[in-house]
Amino acid sequence: MALVLAQLPALRLDRRIIVAALVICGLGMLHTEIALRVERVRRRITDTPHVDFSSVWTFAAAVLLPPALAAVLATIVFTHLWARSWRPRVPVYRHVFSTATVVLACLAASAVVASGDVARTPFLAGSARELVVLVLAVLAYTTVNSSLVVGAVAVSSPELELSSVLGNWNDAALETATLFLGALAAVALSINPWLVGFVLPPLIVLHWAELVRHLKEAASTDGKTGLLNAAAWHNKAEQVLHRANAEDGPRGVLVLDLDHFKRVNDTYGHVAGDQVLQAVANALRNEVRDRDLVGRFGGEEFVVLLGVPSDSGSTELGAVAERMRRRVEHLQVEIPTPDGPMTVSGLTVSIGGAVHSRTGEDLRTLLHIADTALYSAKRAGRNRVRLGLSLPPKAAPVQYTASDMPAGGA
C-alpha cells in the first residue's frame, strides 16, 4: 500500500482517465446503494463467505486505470460497501484485510495488462491479443484474491475442512463470471462511458439470484448441524432412488440415534448439546463421500443414504456404519465455559441399516427396515450396529429380521 501511495504524485491523468475513474467509482457506490437491501437480507441468512459483486468495478478499474489510481478506487468502493452493508457484522480488521486483498488483486491484474503492452483507454481495438490479455488479467485477479482469502481462513480456522475453505464450484463459477462482467464494463467504458450503465441491471439480477439460492439452502438445511433437514433429505433421497439403475448399484440407508443424549443436555446444558450434535454431524460427513446424503431427522436422530457395491452391499454398509460408530465413540467435544474449556466424551450411537436390493424397496420401506434394526440395536444394549434384512417379495406381508454386525457385537 505504501508503494501505491508513493506512486500517486507521479500520476499523469488525462481527461479520459479522470472520466473513467469517476464513472467507475460512482457506479460502484450506486451499485452498493441499489443492492443494499438484498445484501443485508443475504447476510442475515448466512455467515459463510459469498461472492462479492463489487469486483465488477474493481476489476474494470484494474484494466483501465493506472495501478495506483485503481488501488485507491478499490479502497473507496470497498470502504463504502463496508460502511453501508457490512458494518457492524464485519469488524474493521477484517475489512482492512479484505480491502488489501482486493488492492493486491487489482495490482496483479493491472500488471498483466501492462505486460501485454495494451493501451488502457480506449482498451480494445479488436485484436485477439487484447482478448487474451483480458482473460489472463481475470485469472490473475481471482488467483491472487482467492489465494489470500483462503490462506487467511485456513490459518485462522485450521479446524475447517479444505472443501469448506475453498467453497464450491458454483461460487467459483459465479466469481469468474463477475470478473468477466467487469471486463465487459471496462470495454464499454473505453468505447462510451454511457454504455457501462447496461452492466447494472444484470448485476442486480445476480444479487436476487444469489439471495434466492441462499434462501433455498437455508430452507433445506438443519440450523444446528448444517446437514439436510428431514424434508430436504426425503426429497433428495427419493430422487436418487428414482434415478438409480443397474450401473449405479444398490443404495444403503443408515438410521442413527445418539444413546442417552438427554443426559448430555441435562448435565452440560442445551448449548453444549447443540455443539455435540454439530460434532457428530461432522463425524458422519467425514465417513461418507460428497455425493452421499446425510441428514438430521430431528432431536438426536440422523440418517444417511449412500451407494454400496452390488456384490457386497450389506458388508460395505455395515463397515461404514461401524466406522461411524467408532468415530462417535471416540469423540472429544470441547465446550468453552466461563470456567475454562470442558470436554464432553463417552458418546455412543446405535445404528440400523438397510440395503436397497433388486426387489426395489421404496424409501419408506427402506427407512422402516433400518428403523426396525435400529431399535433392535437399542434393545440389545445400544452402541452397536444392526442391519435389517428384507425377506423375498413372495412373502406377504413383508417381515423383517435384524443381524448383528460382528464388529459392533454385544
Cell matching residue 30: 450506486
Domain ranges of the chain: 2-220, 230-408
pTM of the model: 0.64
pLDDT tens track, the chain, 410 positions: 444 444 444 455 677 788 889 999 999 999 999 888 887 777 776 655 456 788 999 999 999 898 999 999 999 999 998 888 877 777 888 889 889 999 999 999 999 988 876 555 445 555 677 888 888 999 999 889 888 877 776 666 555 555 555 556 677 778 888 888 898 888 888 888 788 888 888 888 888 888 888 788 778 888 889 899 999 999 999 888 877 654 566 788 999 999 999 988 888 888 889 999 999 999 999 999 888 999 999 889 999 999 887 667 788 899 999 999 999 999 999 887 777 788 888 999 999 999 876 556 788 889 999 999 999 999 999 999 999 865 444 433 333 344 444 444 33
pLDDT of residue 352: 95
CB contact burial 262-301 (16+ within 10 A = b; e otherwise): eebeeebeeebbebbbebbbbbbbebbeeebbbbbbeebb
Cell matching residue 163: 472443501
Given a contact cutoff of 8 angstroms between Cβ atoms, the answer to whether 250 and 310 are in contact is yes
Q: What is the CATH number of domain 230-408?
A: 3.30.70.270
Share in percent of the chain as helix, strand, coil (round to 5): 60, 10, 25
Cell matching residue 263: 443426559
CA distances from 207 to 23, 68, 155, 224 (A): 21, 29, 30, 26
Nearest to 333 by CA among 377, 247, 381, 269: 269
Q: Residue 358 half-sphere exposure, CB side, CA atoms within 13 Å?
A: 6
Calpha distance 268→343 (Å, rounded):
10
Peptide bond into 122 cis (omega under 30): yes
Calpha distance 252→355 (Å, rounded):
4
3-state secondary structure string across 236-271:
HHHHHHHHCCCCCCCEEEEEEEECCHHHHHHHHCHH
Cell matching residue 313: 452391499
Rg (CA), the chain: 27
Q: What are 369's strand-pairing partners?
A: none
Nearest to 55 by CA among 205, 179, 146: 179
